[in-house]
Amino acid sequence: MPHETLWEIAKAEVEKRGINGSEGDGAEIAEKSVFFIGSKNGVIDEPPKPTLALEYTYGRRAKGHNRPKDIAHFWELGGGTSLLDLISIPITSDTLRMFSLVLVLDLSKPNDLWPTMENLLQATKSHVDKVIMKLGKTNAKAVSEMRQKIWNNMQKDHPDRELIDPFPVPLVIIGSKYDVFQDFESEKRKVICKTLRFVAHYYGASLMFTSKSEALLLKIRGVINQLAFGIDKSKSICVDQNKPLFITAGLDSFGQIGSPPVPENDIGKLHAHSPMELWKKVYEKLFPPKSINTLKDMKDPARDPQYAESEVDEMRIQKDQELEQYKRSSSKSWKQIELDS
């Protein structure tokens, strides 16, 4: 299927499952939200298509007359790490209990991978934690049920149960552009695979790689269906670095992942306060971030070239000049007032 993004796959699944399904009187409504965040232009295939700052669609899955129906809300954050302030819009105390996060990482740009992942997950977790705290004041039972649901992905006798720190909402990490990644040299693929496996397992997340391959897209559709409509999770697993990874939450282990891929005599030289920090140092030793500035980008989408429109931009420049003039005149006025007083 040519030129499909994960967002388009999600929308296609919505349409296939009956976006205009019959409502049915008195039917109980089950709603879920899926939020796509990730690398700028981290699409499955080229060419990338512009994404709005925050895009939304929804769909209904009818189960028959007067029977409960499912509603899926899909959100996509544009701009990579440049629009983090918009994360708060889809994540609220009303949506949180049935909320899932999909983090898309561009495997073809390994130097941007860790900072993109770190910034997006930290920003999202920070906001989710605030919403959970707020929700806990009015509905402690709901918060308790959320936490229990997250821990249910990990078997009670799993050896890593005491070592992980599950993300507060269900998380799926998708590595896109596997068709480019598979041509990397073996050692680079090994580091990327082991690192992402560690991060995913630590956060109690699922991890999978995908590309334009129809077989891989089919797996992604299954994952989206599971998040949006509660379809059964896949139990299949692939941890071979020479193949596209596919690991459902709770099926990996630190023992299988192994230690960070660095010579033993170098481990002691890396000063880290946590396992996550150690893996970060090892990863960035091989793939140093290109530029800190790329993470900050432009927080104002009106200044992003992706959304450029000449007439609007000319008007924007004019308004900016008027605003600056207003600020200067206001400043002079306030100074005059202060002098007069």
Give tens-digit pLDDT for 247-275: 999 999 999 999 898 876 676 677 888 99
Look at residue 59 and tell me if it is in a domain: yes
Domain with 235, as residue range(s), is 30-260
Q: Which residue has the higher pLDDT, 249 or 5?
A: 249
- pLDDT over 90 (residue 306): no
Asked which of 2-11, 74-83, 131-140, 157-166 is least confident by mean pLDDT, the reply is 2-11
Edge-to-edge, what's the strand order for the sheet holding 54-61?
Answer: 54-61, 69-77, 29-38, 99-106, 171-176, 206-209, 246-247, 237-238
Q: How many domains does the chain have?
A: 1
Look at residue 142 and tell me if it is in a domain: yes
The rounded mean pLDDT for the chain is: 79
pLDDT at 214: 84
pLDDT at 66: 63
Confidence of residue 34 (pLDDT cuts 50, 70, 90): very high
- CATH code (residue 102): 3.40.50.300
Mean pLDDT along residues 83-97: 89
pLDDT at 26: 41
Residue 278 sits at the vertex; the CA angle it makes with 266 and 205, to the nearest 5 degrees, is: 140
Look at residue 288 and tell me if it is in a domain: no
Residues 6+ apart with CB under 8 A from 40: 79, 80, 81, 82, 106
Q: Which residue has the higher pLDDT, 111 or 51?
A: 111
Is 281 in a helix, a strand, or coil? helix
pLDDT at 166: 96
- pLDDT over 60 (residue 297): no
- pLDDT over 90 (residue 332): no
CA pair distance 9, 104, nearest whole angstrom:
13
Letter for the amino acid at 199? V
Confidence of residue 191 (pLDDT cuts 50, 70, 90): very high
Residues 53-68 pLDDT 10s? 888 888 777 766 666 6
Q: Choose from 11-25, 79-93, 185-199, 223-237 the range with maximum mean pLDDT.
A: 185-199
Look at residue 226 and tell me if it is in a domain: yes
Look at residue 194 and tell me if it is in a domain: yes
pLDDT at 54: 87
pLDDT at 230: 76
Look at residue 316 and tell me if it is in a domain: no
Contact 50/247 with Cβ under 8 angstroms?
no
In 66-188, where do the E strands start and end?
Answer: 69-77, 99-106, 171-176
Mean pLDDT along residues 59-85: 78
pLDDT at 101: 96
Look at residue 47 and tell me if it is in a domain: yes
Look at residue 10 and tell me if it is in a domain: no
Letter for the amino acid at 243? K
